[in-house]
Amino acid sequence: MFKNFYVDYQNKLRTADEAVRVVKSGDWVDYTSSLGKPVLLDKALAKRRDELEDVKVRGNLIDGPIEVVECDESQEHFVYHSWHCSAYERKLCDRGLCYHIPQVFHNNAAYYEYFLDVNVVMVSVSPMDKHGYFNFSVNTGVAAPIVRMADIVIVEVNEFMPKIHGGYDECIHISEVDYIVEGEHKPFSPRVPSAPSEVDRKIASNIIPYIVDGATLQLGIGSVPFALGELIAETDLKDLGMHTELCSDAYLSLYNSGKLTNRRKNIDKGKGVFGCAIGSAELYEWLDDNHGVAAYPLEYVNRPSVIAQIDNMVSINACVSVDLYGQVASESSGSRHLSGTGGQLDFLIGASASRGGKAFICMESIYKDKDGIAHSRIRPQFNGDIITSPRSQIYFLATEYGVINLEGRSTWERAELLISIAHPDFREHLIKEAEKRKIWRRSNKR
């Protein structure tokens, strides 16, 4: 008979109000990521506002509300930081209530191991199993490195967290936990992109011919990757694989159509690999207790040297805009912060080094401002935008007007290729801007 861990469980069980008493003024508190947000502990900590000063809180892709932020717009008591902004956190940035932490995901563990303080970590987990393990679930990508470095570990048990099998670091043992909090939770709200537009589908259809049988896919956040999942399901492609920092409903579509088998992967054969998951209730049900998937820390999933080991690795991510030099902005619009670097740069490097691999950045050729005026997403030159991916790391770019490859191309060749996939209404203007910058040859076709 093995040890009964429920005695330890009862000894460490606290109410949320009791558990947050460990937080002191000046502490760094970590909420980990997304659905790992500790809802009950966040509310309890917010109630201590007037007792605390300068408590710094870190999170990542967290939906609102975050109570410690909403209760203290003065930021005298709580100051919030995000590694990668959700739509809610983006609005907090607009209000001056959230500060972004620039990062590349594959270094996430190293940041905590070598550079950051974590006085208290609060993380949601699935219920403990008979062996004393709590599962990090859809939060496996970031949770373990934070927990390892924290002075105090508090887990919030959430019965709606799916139990997800992993490669490693998908669980924490009760012996590593200081306090356990239980309470009432609600099912997760679905987070599925809006239905793809006809332009999204056109961009996706332009990329599909570059995907071969047995390819492994990384699909980023957004409507184009979602459209790709739907369109690929209608093709005769087969034996596709999954290796991605974020698992979304696009992969569920591929699985349901029989396209996603992971059979031909060089590593993690037979397993769909991911770090975090955000999507529908059906997605979480699919991931729950599924031996065909494996959750890993992002230090593994996003490591370019790991990605490069997978033949025919295809990475598809979206951006906000690109300039005529090939620089890509994906996390800001001008000085307004939108999201974060995420896995884009990791997968650009890794997929391009894969045998048969391809790395795509995609975007609609135009956007419309609040007055309905159209603007080109291909711009002459950035001025104040945050560069997510440098021009030296950009390979395939796709719009609804086609796909280009900038590998090994000179400045004038890049300008010509980029203008060829710009919206026709803006091509003449872009040519004139290229001429001003001495990156347009007289022999270029107009």
Which positions are catalytic? 245
Is residue 112 within 8 A of residue 155, CB to CB? The reply is no
Of residues 3, 13, 5, 108, the one with CA closest to residue 61: 108
> CA-CA distance, 97 to 69, in Å (whole number)?
7
Residues whose CB falls within 8 Å of the CB of residue 42, separated by 6 or more in sequence, listed in order: 31, 66, 67, 68, 122
State phi, psi for 164 to the nearest 5 degrees. Answer: -120, 125
The residue whose two tokens read 């990521």 is 33
Exposed (0-12), middle (13-18) or buried (19+): which is 232, by Cβ within 10 Å?
buried
Is residue 188 within 8 A of residue 138, CB to CB? The reply is no
Question: What residue type is assigned to position 41 of the chain?
Answer: L
Three-state secondary structure call for residue 109: helix
Which parts of 116-193 are beta strand (E)?
120-125, 133-135, 152-157, 171-173, 179-181
β-partners of residue 375 are 367
- Pairing of β 272-277 and β 293-295: parallel
- Pairing of β 13-14 and β 366-368: unpaired
Q: Compute how many other C-beta atoms are within 10 angstroms of the C-beta atom of residue 117.
A: 13
Alpha carbon dihedral 207, 209, 215, 219, in 10-degree steps, equals 20
What's the maximum distance between 2 C-alpha atoms anywhere in the chain? 83
The residue whose two tokens read 């560069």 is 387
**Six token digits for residue 179:** 């306090």
Per-residue buried b or exposed e for 384-417, using 16+ beta carbons within 10 Å of the residue's own CB:
ebbebbebebbbbbbbbbebbebeebebbbbbbb
